[in-house]
Amino acid sequence: MHNKSIAELAKGLRSGEFSSLELTTAFLDRIKRHTGLNAYITVAEELALEQAKAADARLAKGSAELLTGIPIAQKDIFCTDGVKTSCGSKMLDNFIAPYDATVVEKFNDAGAVMLGKLNMDEFAMGSSNETSYYGAVKNPWDVNTVPGGSSGGSAAAVAARLAVCATGTDTGGSIRQPAALCGITGLKPTYGRVSRYGMIAYASSLDQGGPMTHSAEDAAIMLQTMAGFDDKDSTSVDLPVPDYSVGLSRSLEGLKIGLPKEFFGEGLNADVAATIEAAIEEYRKLGAKVTEVSMPSLRLAIPAYYVIAPAECSANLSRFDGVRFGYRCENPADLTDLYTRSRGEGFGKEVKRRILMGTYALSAGYYDAYYIKAQKIRRLISDDFKRALSEVDVMMGPVTPSTAFGIGEKIGNPIEMYLSDIYTIAINLAGVPAMSVPAGFAKGLPVGLQIIGNYFTEDRLLNIAHQYQQVTNWHQSAPKGFE
């Protein structure tokens, strides 16, 4: 059952081939057998079994939706009522959320079963899932390598069949990069398409939740539930949500694909490049036309991002002060000591680094020189995307410059770690949608193809990914030992 798609499982549940309780129990047993990946922070076994029984009752009444009874898992950045929401941090190790995030609420309303909360880089700050207070997550394709971050737990759980699908969040590539390194499908929607209410903020103008699945078809089903306007989120966009599944089979004849030349230069691993080129050749066979495009401002994406994102994180994380909720130091001498030691002991090294960077960029005398200049660069990057996407339907390229790197290999070199997101960060700065699709392997490790679209064209991206997955089977590959 663990290798079936959402649609196949939904059909089996409706026909009575198996119950949600049986399906959920099977996944809970798999999770217990594969704890070595460290993909889960919290396994909500009791809650999952209760939700499975409720789903079975709903199925018996004939009032089920497509996700009713399907075992999913939530990245531990989404607040879940009555269940620990830690954000991968010691700061929130004792935090039991008193409400559900809108995304969680939507899945609950659809009758999905929550298996638990997935491991992640602390406060979503990282590209390898090594900054988590709960330890590094391991890539199921090679447990000596990282699964990517910050949604590494989500990617590893889906790849290892420890959940049918999972939620992730993407601030600078944190859905697409781990999806690529773990050989699954991951979609970052247009900024504002999915509500951020109850999703603990890292960088508010960049964060976006999205689905992590095996296939584009499953991603379409998940996004159908996740997307939509939310009056509790001031950044939510009030636009109709299309039926993401209805256009999956649309022909790609005449599709115009742009290849950003900045994605194929120095720094791209030769084996990864060859895999991406082979994937693009498949699109040519499907009737697409390929041309080169240029986005000169992309070279400024990483420095601009690492001013804007830390500045926003500095403001967002100021609420964690040891007073209202979260970690509090023992026996503080006074208020200053309470603040200093609670934050010093509660936050990890990478989070502290980004808070300091952001506070510096926002400080008097440096705000204009750094933050304002970074925002101007952001506009240039956005203009580059608009210009390029007026010439082509979508753009394609690699998600990452290499396959999964070794655990511990880059954690001591922040600059090298930041560069692993070189092909993903600009998409968040512009706010456009993009996804990672399994495109093959390089020396035994997965490679992801990135597909980038114009604002609110998730349906087209899913169609383009789905058609590729009809002529390839990379998305069906399973790591050895997790088949």
> Which residue in 153, 206, 210 sits closest to 181, CA to CA?
153
pLDDT of residue 365: 87
Q: Which residues are catalytic?
A: 75, 150, 174
Judge contact between 142 and 184, C-beta under 8 A. Answer: no
- Which H or E run includes 74? strand 71-75
Strand duo 165-169 + 71-75: pairing: parallel
> What is d(CA 325, CA 224) in angstroms, rounded to the nearest whole number?
34
> What is d(CA 66, CA 463) in angstroms, rounded to the nearest whole number?
19
Strand duo 256-260 + 394-398: pairing: parallel
pLDDT digits (tens, 9 = 90+) for 118-161: 999 999 999 999 999 999 999 999 999 999 999 999 999 999 99
Judge contact between 343 and 318, C-beta under 8 A. Answer: no
> Which residue in 205, 183, 186 sits closest to 196, CA to CA?
205
Averaged pLDDT, 69-95: 98
CATH class of 6-255+392-476: alpha beta
How many other C-beta atoms can be found within 10 angstroms of the C-beta atom of residue 335? 11
Of the chain, the percentage scoring pLDDT greater than 70 comes to 100
Is residue 1 predicted with pLDDT exceeding 90? no
Averaged pLDDT, 60-82: 97
Averaged pLDDT, 179-183: 98
Assign 109 a pLDDT band (cuts: 50, 70, 90).
very high
Mean pLDDT for the chain overall:
97
Judge contact between 178 and 168, C-beta under 8 A. Answer: yes
The SS3 of residue 222 is helix
pLDDT digits (tens, 9 = 90+) for 219-239: 999 999 999 999 999 999 999
Token duo for residue 405:
């790197």
Token duo for residue 234:
């001031």
> Which residue in 395, 425, 379, 386 sits closest to 293, CA to CA?
395
List beta partners, residue 446. Answer: 441
Dihedrals phi, psi of 53, to nearest 5 degrees: -65, -40
> What is d(CA 310, CA 358) in angstroms, rounded to the nearest whole number?
4
Judge contact between 185 and 212, C-beta under 8 A. Answer: yes
Token duo for residue 80:
């879940």
Place of tokens 């399973």: 478
> Which residue in 261, 262, 258 sits closest to 288, CA to CA?
258
Q: Per this entry, what is the length of the chain?
A: 483
> What is d(CA 118, CA 154) in angstroms, rounded to the nearest whole number?
6
- Which H or E run includes 472? none
pLDDT digits (tens, 9 = 90+) for 383-427: 999 999 999 999 999 999 999 999 999 999 998 999 899 999 999
- Within the chain, all domains assigned CATH 3.90.1300.10 are found at 6-255+392-476
The CA–CA distances, whole Å, from 329 to 86, 247, 314, 322, 355 equal: 17, 54, 20, 7, 19
Cis peptide before 342 (omega within 30 of 0): no
Cα-to-chain-centroid distance, residue 164: 15
Judge contact between 214 and 466, C-beta under 8 A. Answer: no
pLDDT of residue 317: 96
- Which H or E run includes 394? strand 394-398
